[in-house]
Amino acid sequence: GLLLMGCGGGNGGGSATTNAPKGDAPAGVQERKIKVGIGLNEDHPEGQGIKKFKELVEQKSGGKMQVQNFFSATLGDDQKMTEALQGGLQEVTVPSTSPLVGMIKEYGVFDLPFVFNTEQEAHAVLDGPVGQKLLDKLPEHGLIGLAYWENGFRNLTNSKRPVNTPQDFQGIKLRTMQNEIHLEAFKALGANPTPMAFSEVFSALEGKTVDGQENPLATIKSNKYNEVQPYLSLTKHVYTPFVFLVSKKFWDGLSPEEQKIMKEAAVEAGKYQREVNFKENAKAVEDLKAAGMKVNEVSDENRQKMKEAVQPVIDKYSKEIGEDLVNEMMAEIEKARKK
Ligand code: KDG
């Protein structure tokens, strides 16, 4: 399970710094090598998050636990890295939850379109009992989930036209993540979606294999999609998170002290990562406009019409995922809205 046992009260040499001699490591901490891989690059808030994770783990372990970060899918895409964790060939990855849905259908709650209105609502669900229930499903698949990080609200870019209404999706060839709810939702809107691993997206856009893609602003900016996509439409059609995954094979070999260091670092770096993401998002639209993109807002009325177009998909997948879980999530969102 995810509970950290035997941590006792103190954390030994918890005040050790990165440069501390290895002898100062807290009790129960050995030399460890931790390979962390993500699909995004090091400027992206997720990249900054794993840099923070490295700093924290090395600090808390007195330099004994060494983290090596790999950006831009150099170790592979989300699915491949997740499999590498299951096989014990890689220690950590922080993928979108969406490609995990083929393995654990309940993660599909985060793929239902037009469910969250704000980041705060999403955080309340992710950091509450629904989020924990989903993390608890990972160990039987050889994975340990330590925290949710933020990817965020996804927006549409394309080379055809500004998208304001459901009709505007008509015929747009769209890359989606490898997730059937996304595929079905974009089909319902009249687009022509095709699933593709993240690392292939830029060249697919550049070579016009697809007309568009959808991702949070920070990704559109850090991956320079503005160079190959003239239109950005602020559809905010779905909020998808990242989940911080550790190989269970690796985790089970760690001492309780080492597990505590990993867990604390993943949670602390996650808080930092959400802040970086928030700041990045706040200025991304201006930056992308300055880089030449034509940006359009989508009115509440048109967002509502888009939601109506995908409602059959929401209904279908709410049943498949399990209506109890979906209802529990909706109740959590309502609670967060009243705050
Ligand atoms: O590092 C995460 C990326 O690999 C990926 O999850 C980004 O949202 C993403 C996408 O569109 O594939």
Q: Does the pLDDT of residue 24 top 90, yes or no?
A: no
For the segment 189-206, the average pLDDT, to the nearest whole number, is 98
Dist CA 240 CA 152 (whole Å) = 6
The residue type at 176: T
Determine the Cα–Cα distance for residues 217 and 222; give it in Å rounded to an integer.
9
Is the ipTM value over 0.85, yes or no?
yes
Closest ligand 1 atom to the C-alpha of 46? 1
CA nearest ligand 1 atom 6, residue: 96
Mean pLDDT, the chain, rounded, equals: 94
Q: How far is the CA of 305 from the centre of ligand 1 (A)?
A: 27
151 CB near ligand 1 (under 6 Å): yes
Ligand 1 within 6 A of 215 CB? Answer: yes
Sketch out the chain's domains with CATH numbers: 31-338 (3.40.190.170)
- Provide the percentage of residues in the chain whose pLDDT is more than 90: 92
Average pLDDT of span 94-102: 98
Residue 215 has pLDDT above 50, yes or no: yes
**Residue recorded with tokens 């830029």:** 202
Q: Is 143 exposed, middle or buried (0-12, 13-18, 19+ CB in 10 A)?
A: buried
pLDDT digits (tens, 9 = 90+) for 231-280: 999 999 999 999 999 999 999 999 999 999 999 999 999 999 999 999 99
For the Cβ of 40 lying below 6 angstroms from any atom of ligand 1, the answer is yes
* Residue 78 CA, closest ligand 1 atom number: 4
CB under 8 Å to 218, separation ≥6 — which residues?
A: 44, 45, 152, 277, 280, 281, 284
User: For position 23, what pLDDT does the model report?
Assistant: 52
Mean pLDDT of the 19-27 span:
64
